[in-house]
Structure 1
Amino acid sequence: MILERHGLGWAGLAIGLIAPFFIATPYALNLMTTAAIFVMLAVGLNIVVGYCGLLDLGYAAFFAVGAYTSGILSTELGLPLIATVPAVLVVTVLAGLVIGGPTLRLRSDYLAIVTLGFGEIIRIVATNLDITGGPSGIFGIPGLFGDALSGPVALYYMVVVTAAIAVVLAARLGRSRLGRAWRFIREDEDAAEASGVRTYRVKMAAYVAGAVWGGLAGVLFAAQLSAISPAGFTFLHSALVLMAVVLGGMGSTPGVVLGAVVISLLPEALRGLADGRYFVFGILLIVMMLIRPQGLWPYRSREHGTSTPQEAREPERARMEGTL
């Protein structure tokens, strides 16, 4: 099931584009902008976790790398954030290679622990370096296009369009030959390697792709707040993004989009409960996972109509053995 070919995907994009005409408050518009950024983060992590099966608990590290790279370049050189995107792409790719190089040789819990450690290292480095502003962070970050198109509505449209492009590209990657290799590795890495798949390189491709998605989301985050600090890139943020992937349905692009919207907007919908809203939020998540353990919108094999990756395992493996 590919989002760009699904009517609900186009309907969701249409709703997102016309939403500013019906939103009465800047707060609601800012909330929807945050949700769109969160969608982009979740789709990026879905490449790593959902497609390739690599448990990454430090995804906020790439979010921080993108935000700090754009923030430093824009404030030090006086550039609009859009001009820093090429540098962000280069830096996030390098960060993915440096972090993924040693960690992707590990599996399972060991991989999760190491990625968690790298995520904390990035946050601690940002807290202690002068160029990153230390604990206070970086302030006065210009808009995406400087003073032009700097209003909240213009930013919202830029974020929504960028997130939509990211979703479409991620979906196309998922159904490509590389995407089939990722799913084969997720189901059985040893069998994939025995079938001729270069598992290390394929996993590195997934990790770097996820890093790029996270870095670009960091640019949008810096544009939205005009200020960044290490407090915005904690383990909690990585956990929330991972929660969106699991809740929506690992490997399912529309499911991950839905999960990201739920995770980002549900706490705000419960704001009237004051201090008890996060307790209710947690209870609702548990109930949803008990009712839909496979996710709100689980992955379905387009060719075979199966509802879970496990059911599609044998057809996927046979196809991979014939293509790689």
Structure 2
Amino acid sequence: MNSLRKADLKALIAAAVLFAIIYGLLQADVIGAFWELNLVLIGINIILATSLNMINGYTGQFSIGHAGFLAVGAYVGAIMTVKLGFNMVAALLAGTAAAGLLGFLVGLPTLRLNGDYLAIATLGLGEIIRICILNIDYVGGAAGLMGIPRLTSFPLVFWIMVAILFFIKNFKNSAHGRACLAIRENEIAADTMGIDTTKYKVMAFTLGAAFAGTAGVLFSHYFFIAHPASFT
């Protein structure tokens, strides 16, 4: 336990040093807006990739509709700021919660499936979300939801990314994470050993969906628009 805490502290210090260097270069205009754009995109994609890894990597479930949760986070977050006038914190909380709730509701029935059947079900979910967005005038339909304020910044993306990576690392080393890894290695054996496989698959799916929603909120509030074509 102490070794893990020391490793976490070292990683946090390294992240703080890295942030100070990059942020200092940005403030001094040594690296310009182009590099800031790429750094923000890298951070958002790291969040998205690690959220998918919660499902595909840790529990071994073949989900290919993850862009749908990104879209839910992006649109719910944009509605909070553009339509309802809330701040970025509220948008992040709402987008994350909405995507996580959808992941939970979808995960309960679909995660009883395996392999190609689960892949088809999650692909269908992604398409359902996209088609719904295309046909809802309240969020702009096919034109997308425009006029989103740029509330995403490099510091915000960086520290949210660090927090999520820290959470996922500690989740992996917890009893819940080890149960997910056991399911990935052999679901039948895990079930035989008394692990509630459905519970842990739904847990990982919900967390992965929620973090994808976080990435979606950050994405839409950096590019001023949430467009259906961005989430296919």
Q: Relative contact order: is structure 1 or structure 2 higher (C-alpha 8 Å, sep ≥ 6)?
A: 2
Residue 221 (structure 1) aligned to one of 215, 219, 222? 219
Partner of 1:89: 96
Partner of 1:194: 192
Instruction: Tell me the SS of whatever aligns to 1:55.
Output: coil
Partner of 2:207: 209
Q: Does 1:139 align with 2:142?
A: no
TM-score by length of 2: 0.90
Tell me if the contact between 2:111 and 2:198 (Cα under 8 Å) persists in the aligned partners.
Answer: yes
Q: Does 1:99 align with 2:99?
A: no
Q: Provide the rounded CA distance (Å) in 2 between the counterparts of 1:84 and 1:222.
A: 11
Tell me if the contact between 2:59 and 2:204 (Cα under 8 Å) persists in the aligned partners.
Answer: yes
Instruction: Tell me the SS of whatever aligns to 1:69.
Output: helix
Q: Provide the rounded CA distance (Å) in 2 between the counterparts of 1:3 and 1:120.
A: 42
1:124–1:15 CA distance, 2 compared to 1 (3 A): same
After the TM superposition, which parts of structure 1 deviate over 3 Å for at least 4 consecutive aligned residues? Answer: 1-4, 6-13
1:109–1:222 CA distance, 2 compared to 1 (3 A): same
Q: Provide the rounded CA distance (Å) in 2 between the counterparts of 1:62 and 1:3.
A: 32
1:115–1:10 CA distance, 2 compared to 1 (3 A): farther
Tell me if the contact between 2:71 and 2:231 (Cα under 8 Å) persists in the aligned partners.
Answer: yes
Q: Provide the rounded CA distance (Å) in 1 between the counterparts of 2:5 and 2:161.
A: 13
Partner of 1:182: 180
Q: Provide the rounded CA distance (Å) in 2 between the counterparts of 1:200 and 1:4.
A: 34
Tell me if the contact between 2:180 and 2:200 (Cα under 8 Å) persists in the aligned partners.
Answer: yes
Tell me if the contact between 1:56 and 1:115 (Cα under 8 Å) persists in the aligned partners.
Answer: yes
Partner of 2:71: 64
Gaps of 5+ in 1: 145-149, 235-324
1:121–1:196 CA distance, 2 compared to 1 (3 A): same
TM-score by length of 1: 0.65
Q: Provide the rounded CA distance (Å) in 2 between the counterparts of 1:46 and 1:203.
A: 13
Tell me if the contact between 1:48 and 1:54 (Cα under 8 Å) persists in the aligned partners.
Answer: yes
Aligned residues: 225
Q: Provide the rounded CA distance (Å) in 1 between the counterparts of 2:5 and 2:128.
A: 35
* Structure 1 residue 13, shift from structure 2 partner: 5.3
Partner of 2:17: 14
Q: Does 1:32 align with 2:30?
A: no
Q: Provide the rounded CA distance (Å) in 2 between the counterparts of 1:33 and 1:41.
A: 12
Q: Deviations over 1:104-145 (max 9, x none)?
A: 01001111111111112111211111122111111111243x
The within-5 A match list for 1:115-264 is 115-144=122-151, 155-234=153-232
Tell me if the contact between 2:80 and 2:90 (Cα under 8 Å) persists in the aligned partners.
Answer: no
Residue 121 (structure 2) aligned to one of 93, 96, 114? 114
The within-5 A match list for 1:69-80 is 69-80=76-87
* Structure 1 residue 217, shift from structure 2 partner: 0.8
Tell me if the contact between 1:40 and 1:213 (Cα under 8 Å) persists in the aligned partners.
Answer: yes
Q: Provide the rounded CA distance (Å) in 2 between the counterparts of 1:113 and 1:69.
A: 25
* Structure 1 residue 10, shift from structure 2 partner: 4.9
Question: Highest CA radius of gyration, 1 or 2?
Answer: 1
The CA RMSD measured in Å over matched residues stands at 2.1
Gaps of 5+ in 2: none
- Which of 67-76 and 78-87 deviates more? 78-87
Residue 51 (structure 2) aligned to one of 44, 51, 66? 44
Q: Provide the rounded CA distance (Å) in 1 between the counterparts of 2:128 and 2:20.
A: 38
Tell me if the contact between 2:100 and 2:213 (Cα under 8 Å) persists in the aligned partners.
Answer: no
Instruction: Tell me the SS of whatever aligns to 1:225.
Output: coil
Aligned-residue sequence identity (percent) comes to 36
